[in-house]
Every structure is written in C-alpha cells, then in structure tokens.
Amino acid sequence: MLGNKMLRLCFSLLLLTCFYSTRVFASQNWSWSTCSKDSTFCLQVFFDHGRVDAKLYHLGSEIVRINCDGLLFKGQKSTSSFQLISSKVVKIDTVWNAPWGQHKQTHDRSEQVLMQLYDTTSKQQVELQFSFSNDGLAYRYIYHSKDSSSVMKELGTFIVTGDAEAWWCWADYNTLEKNYQHTSLYEASHVALPFTIKRKDGVCLAFMEAALANYPMMTLRQDTTNRGVFHINLVPWADGTAIKSFGAITTPWRVVQFASSEKDLLSSSFLDCLNAPPSNDDFSWVKPITFCGIWWEMHLGLSDWKYSGGRHGASTSNAKRYIDFAAANGIGGVLMEGWNTGWERWGEPDAFDFTKSYPDLDLPAVVRHARSKGVEIIGHHETGGDVVMYEKQMDKAFAYYQQLGIKYVKTGYAGPVNPPTENHHGQYMVNHMNLVMRTAAKYHLMVDAHEPVIPSGLSRTWPNLLSFEAVRGMEWNAWSEGNTPSHDCVLPFTRGLAGPMDYSPGIFDVLESNRKSDRVKWNGLDKGDSRVHSTICHQLAMPMIYYTPMLMLPDIPANYSGHPLFEYLKQIPATWDETRIVAASIGEFVVIARRSGTRWFIGGIGNEDARVIPVSFGFLKDKQSHSYSLCSDGKEADFNTNPLSYSIDKGTLHAKDRMELKLATGGGFLMIVE
Ligand code: NOJ
Ligand code: CA
C-alpha cells in the first residue's frame, strides 16, 4: 500500500508543462525546426509536394536525412503521397519516477510536432509525429484505418552522411544472440537494432525502435548501390505480409539517438520517454530483485533440466540448498529451471506442463521454505518456442504461480517458433510477448524474458516487464567458444541502449575447472574447452555495469561461498538512485558510477588491451572523507593466462581526489565508496 501511495505522490509531483501551437495549411511546402539546448544538434522536418523528410544536423552540417514515405498497403502500387492538413507543436517538460531503474527520476524534456496528413494513395487520415530531445529524435505514424488491413512494407530511409565506424549484428529474424561486427558503416549490410555508429568527428548515433506493439521488429538494410542509405525492413509473417491489423495502426517510434561522445550515448532515457506512462497506478507490487539459482550448474552439465537420467537439478533438496544460500547472503530470490515436466520432449508440440512438477520436487514445500527465509522463488516457463502451447496454458500457469506465492517468472523461447512458419521477431511474436506482459500483470507476476523480441521501453508502461535477454550472454561461455572481452565492452553501447539486459554475468570459476570430471556434455557446440573469457574482476564488475532489475548472481554456491570477492558481488543492488558514466569507448572500456542511498559503486570493464583509466570522484559532491574498498585485477592478472588474480584495497578518499584505476587485459574493477 505504501508503495502505491508513493507512486501516486510521484505522479502528483509531476512537473508537466505542455505548450501547444497549431497551424492549418493550404500550402504545398512547410517546414519546422528545433535544436538541442546547447544548439549542437538540430532537426528540420519538411513537407514538400506530398512528401515528408527530416534532417538531423550536427553543428550546422547534415548528418542524417530521413525519408518518411509511409506504409505500403497490400494492392497499393505507388508510394504514398500526402496532403498536409495541419500541424501542432507540443513541448513536454515532465519528471517521472519508476519503481526501478538506473535513476530514481527521469526528466522528459522534449518537443513534438504532430502533423495531420491525408494519404491520397491509400486514402486514409494519417498522423505523423516527430519527437526531439537533447539526445534523440524519433518519428512514428498513426494510420486511422477502420477495417482490417495487410501492410506489405514500411517505406522509410535513413541516409547517413559520410563513413563511420559501425557496430552491428546480422539481422537474423530468429535470434539476437549474436556476435557484433565492427566495420566501416558501408559494410553494415543488413543490421538488427540497436545499430550504433561513431562518425569521424566522434558523434555517435544509435538506431533503435521504441514502443514496439502489434507490429513486427524492424531491421535496416543498406542499399547495395547507394552506400550510407539504409532502408527500413520489417520481419515478415510466413506469407510475406509485414503487418496484419484491424483498425488503427500505430507504428513503433523510429529512433535515432545521438550524442557528441560515447559517454553521452550511455546517458540517455529517450527510449523510455517515448513510451506511455504506466497503464495503471497499481504497480506497487513490482520490486527489483537479485537472485541466484539452479541454472549455471545445468549449463555446465553438472546436472540436468530433465528428470530422466538421474541427474535432475531442480529437486526439493537442491532448491532448499540454494534458498539457504540466498538467505545467508542477502540474495532476494532463487530461480528454478527444469522444475516442471516436459524437458524430455523439448521440441515436440505440447511438451511442457507448467502446473506439473517432476516427482522429486515438492514445489509448495519449496515455496514455503523460501518464504520462511524471506526468499522469493523465480519460476520458469521454458516453451522451447512453442507459443501455441504457452498461450493455451498461460492463464492456468500464471494462476498456479500466484496461488503458490511465486511473483517472478523467467520465460524462454529456445527453439523454432510454433506455429512453425513464424519468425521470432515478427508481429506474431511481438503480440505474444505483449500478451505475456499484460497477462502476467493481471496475476501480479514480474517477467524476465529470454529469447524475447528487442526491448523498446515498454517497461515504462508495464513496469512488471523487468528484464530481457536478447543478447549473446553468459550461457554461451558454458558450452561454446564463448564471448570475448570486446563483446562485453560493445554491449553497453548497442544492445544495452534498448533496456534492461539479463546477460547473467558474475561467474567466479572463470576457468570452469571445478568439478570438471562431473560434467556431462549436453550441447553440440561444446568442444570441452569452454571457459569465461575475462578476469574474475571483470566478472565482478559486469553485474553493476549491465543494468537489469532482475539481477542474477549466476555461479554455483560452492564457487561463491567463502570467496572474498563474493562479499562485494552480493552487495550490488538491482535498482539505483543515480547513474553517471565516468569513461567510455565502444568495444574498449566502460566505467560507470551508480549511487544507491549513500553508497557509490564504481565499476569498470575492459577489452583485450590492458589500460589505466583516470577516475575523479566529483560526484561525491561533499567535503567529507569517504571510505572505499577497491577490488581490482592483480598485478599479474591477464584474462588468458592468470584470470583469477585480484587484490582488495581499502582506504579513504575525497570528492577532489583522482585515482588511476588499472584494467588488466580482459579485466575489470569494482569499487564501493561509503
Ligand atoms: C535459454 C535461456 O537463455 C537460458 O537462460 C535457459 O537456461 C535455457 N534456455 C533453458 O531454458
Ligand atoms: Ca538464451
């Protein structure tokens, strides 16, 4: 109740200022422009003889041009030709609080132009909206269609001026668990979003989408003859249609986040601001959480999700062991994967039953044990991609968890989608994911979605949508050639921009050498030489660097218990009051300072190159002396040859102090300042 009241208070404290100005047109030409507060970036929107274009300028030079050519409906032969009916400018100045996040407060200061258009080709009223803030521009359409419609394409082009460095993943329609490529912009052929580039002048741009609902995911395809020209592409339905809709069609926001530096790129809340405020004010039950769980031991092959074979992980006794470990260490929850029947039939239709435990698990008793220790159980619904089965069971499955007192669920779609012809990233799956989010809210369940569609800020509207995988995360280090330190350092600037990221970092046995002889190979990618490619301090810092309000401490209890660094890992909170980017270079290093109450956590991770990063503590803002603990790579640490070497140093510091913090190759550090 208190949380609910707090939430209401926050909203009543909203500082909301909207200025409107409306113009009605008869002319063929019209334009509107606005600039960032420091005038570094400006946007100009043009209407000229039936077409809408926009230009983004940096210090007076055009850096991106956007053609907004509308939707191509089935049967429509030519591109849209618009008439401009009226336009309205709206200024927004709002402060809002969310139940979790990287900041306690978010300030939305933006300007929007709302253009009323008539599409003379598809004969419909269309609203085209632009939003511009100090760190991004976005646009979307609302087609006021009345009946059912099939859309074949969204026509839109981003024309980037000049070459740039680009970090991108191939636009696979079924997985976001990919390695990033680092190439010239001109080699980025067909990219998934977020797509990040750095121009020669240091300006960074990230192409993304916000408020993705009832619509397929977008990719960008570079024109094969005109380099720098990227066409919008939508992940299709099996029959080739892009969007199937009834009534009005609201496209997601097409977003270009911009920043003068890599540091500033990480400081934006633009994506969240483009999403609607909470769908109702009763999300007081939403709570961020840290958790451990029956997970890594199965990825290592120490136990199994399956019951058959006699190596079942999610038994009553093992679950209680994890619960006791969580309770003893102040960890909020325990994830239980492989608790329910069906894992033997993974890949077949209707394999899983989400209300039936395996015979060695007494789930109600486990939940009671957890409750007696103040620990939450994180439930698990692995569908293997069988969405048809999940939608049949969803209400019953969520009601079962609610009745047991389980408030968190991790979902998974590891496998081809059923219906077999649909893509993971098409409208079918976007609608499914949003159905899960809404249904979960009805049962007061919080969701961590694996193999999801890309986050797009929807958690602002549905705060129970806590986290998402959508990344080549830790699990790959258990059974494949794994992830590189550079991969870890690219993620904050790419996937991380889209929203909470459940990578599940924090493995202490980075060489995966403990209990090696007990492991059974279960994954075809496993060549027997997998390991985590970083130092232990890199692992310690990652859970602080990658933000997620469902924060897993993934290693098995035996690898944490008694380890001096675990005393620091377990202190990392799942929500923050304030976040500052200290140093950043895409793919090379990132250092972030985050405040929780009166404590600051400063974490850094680096790529394969060892380096020293100067850190100033001005954010402490006072004249007092602060005590600190610094966990960093040992003198001889090297992620290849000596990954476990670390040191813990304690001392005092002042806001005016500066330290040279060392990163070994593949290294990291975590500092806690009281
Ligand atoms: C893939 C998920 O990403 C992983 O976390 C999970 O353990 C497996 N699927 C099994 O559900
Ligand atoms: Ca996965």
Cβ 71 vs Cβ 151: under 8 Å:
yes
Q: Same domain, yes or no, for 439 and 356?
A: yes
Cβ 270 vs Cβ 208: under 8 Å:
no
Q: Same domain, yes or no, for 419 and 313?
A: yes
309 part of a folded domain:
yes
Residue with tokens 């009834």: 246
Residue that terminates a domain, selected from 515, 547, 575: 575
Q: Which two tokens stand for residue 617?
A: 């503590």
**How many angstroms separate the alpha carbon of residue 298 from the centre of ligand 2?**
13
23 part of a folded domain:
yes
- Region 651-671: mean pLDDT is 97
Q: What is the pLDDT of residue 163?
A: 95
Residue that terminates a domain, selected from 546, 575, 604: 575
Kindly indicate the confidence band of residue 23, based on its pLDDT and cuts at 50, 70 and 90. low
What residue owns the CA closest to ligand 1's atom 1?
A: 414
Kindly indicate the confidence band of residue 333, based on its pLDDT and cuts at 50, 70 and 90. very high
pLDDT at 13 exceeding the cut of 60: no
Question: Which atom, in ligand 1's list, is nearest to the CA of 177?
Answer: 3
CB atoms within 10 A of CB 182: 13
Kindly indicate the confidence band of residue 3, based on its pLDDT and cuts at 50, 70 and 90. very low
Q: What is the pLDDT of residue 146?
A: 86
Question: In CATH, what number is assigned to the domain containing residue 612?
Answer: 2.60.40.1180
Q: What is the pLDDT of residue 20?
A: 52
**How many angstroms separate the alpha carbon of residue 294 from the centre of ligand 1?**
11
Beta carbons within 8 Å of 359's beta carbon, 6+ residues apart: 307
Q: Same domain, yes or no, for 611 and 566?
A: no
- Region 226-247: mean pLDDT is 97
pLDDT at 12 exceeding the cut of 50: no
Beta carbons within 8 Å of 586's beta carbon, 6+ residues apart: 165, 167, 196, 198, 204, 262, 489, 490, 493
Q: What is the pLDDT of residue 84?
A: 95
286 part of a folded domain:
no
452 part of a folded domain:
yes
Q: Which two tokens stand for residue 523?
A: 């994954």
**Binding-site residues, ligand 1, Cβ < 6 A:** 295, 337, 382, 412, 414, 450, 469, 475
583 part of a folded domain:
no
Question: In CATH, what number is assigned to the domain containing residue 65?
Answer: 2.70.98.10
**How many angstroms separate the alpha carbon of residue 177 from the centre of ligand 2?**
7
Q: Same domain, yes or no, for 446 and 472?
A: yes
88-147 residue pLDDT tens = 999 999 999 999 999 999 999 999 999 999 999 989 999 999 999 999 999 999 999 888
Q: Same domain, yes or no, for 94 and 29?
A: yes
Domain that holds residue 87: 3-273
Question: Which atom, in ligand 1's list, is nearest to the CA of 504?
Answer: 5
Percent of the chain scoring above 70 in pLDDT: 96
Q: What is the pLDDT of residue 77?
A: 84
630-652 residue pLDDT tens = 999 999 999 999 999 999 999 99
For the chain, how many residues are written? 674
The ligand with the least distance to the CA atom of 175 is 2
The beta strands (E) that lie in 120-240 are given as 124-133, 136-143, 148-160, 164-168, 181-184, 190-191, 195-199, 204-210, 218-222, 229-234
Q: Same domain, yes or no, for 567 and 495?
A: yes
| Distance (Å, whole) CA 386 – CA 394 | 12
Kindly indicate the confidence band of residue 8, based on its pLDDT and cuts at 50, 70 and 90. very low
Which 3 state secondary structure label does DSSP give 660? strand
Q: Same domain, yes or no, for 225 and 303?
A: no
Residue with tokens 């059923």: 418
415 part of a folded domain:
yes
| Distance (Å, whole) CA 433 – CA 470 | 13
Q: What is the mean pLDDT of the chain?
A: 95
Kindly indicate the confidence band of residue 11, based on its pLDDT and cuts at 50, 70 and 90. very low
Question: Which atom, in ligand 1's list, is nearest to the CA of 295?
Answer: 7
| Distance (Å, whole) CA 148 – CA 151 | 10
Q: What is the pLDDT of residue 21?
A: 59
Q: Which two tokens stand for residue 548?
A: 């997620």
Domain count for the chain? 3
| Distance (Å, whole) CA 400 – CA 39 | 55
Q: Same domain, yes or no, for 339 and 260?
A: no
**How many angstroms separate the alpha carbon of residue 469 from the centre of ligand 2?**
7
Kindly indicate the confidence band of residue 28, based on its pLDDT and cuts at 50, 70 and 90. confident
Kindly indicate the confidence band of residue 80, based on its pLDDT and cuts at 50, 70 and 90. confident
More confidently predicted of 104 and 621: 104
- Region 74-96: mean pLDDT is 93
Question: In CATH, what number is assigned to the domain containing residue 462?
Answer: 3.20.20.70
Percent of the chain scoring above 90 in pLDDT: 93
Q: Output phi, psi for 492, to 5 deg.
A: -60, -30
360-418 residue pLDDT tens = 999 999 999 999 999 999 999 999 999 999 999 999 999 999 999 999 999 999 999 99
Amino acid at 112: Q
263-308 residue pLDDT tens = 999 999 999 999 999 988 789 999 999 999 999 999 999 999 999 9
418-463 residue pLDDT tens = 998 899 999 999 999 999 999 999 999 999 999 999 999 999 999 9
Q: What is the best residue among 378, 450, 480, 483 to mutate for testing ligand 1's pocket, by most ligand atoms within 8 Å of CB?
A: 450
Q: What is the best residue among 303, 337, 390, 413 to mutate for testing ligand 1's pocket, by most ligand atoms within 8 Å of CB?
A: 337
| Distance (Å, whole) CA 555 – CA 295 | 8
Q: What is the pLDDT of residue 181?
A: 98
pLDDT at 661 exceeding the cut of 70: yes
**How many angstroms separate the alpha carbon of residue 338 from the centre of ligand 2?**
15
- Region 542-563: mean pLDDT is 98
Q: Same domain, yes or no, for 342 and 488?
A: yes
Beta carbons within 8 Å of 268's beta carbon, 6+ residues apart: 135, 136, 257, 259, 497
R_g over Cα of the chain: 25
In the 8-state DSSP scheme, what is residue 239?
A: T
Q: Same domain, yes or no, for 312 and 214?
A: no
Q: Which two tokens stand for residue 582?
A: 């200290």
Q: What is the pLDDT of residue 236?
A: 98
pLDDT at 326 exceeding the cut of 70: yes
Q: Which two tokens stand for residue 269?
A: 């809340």
Question: Which atom, in ligand 1's list, is nearest to the CA of 451?
Answer: 3
Amino acid at 424: H
587 part of a folded domain:
no
195-215 residue pLDDT tens = 999 999 999 999 999 999 999
- Region 468-493: mean pLDDT is 98
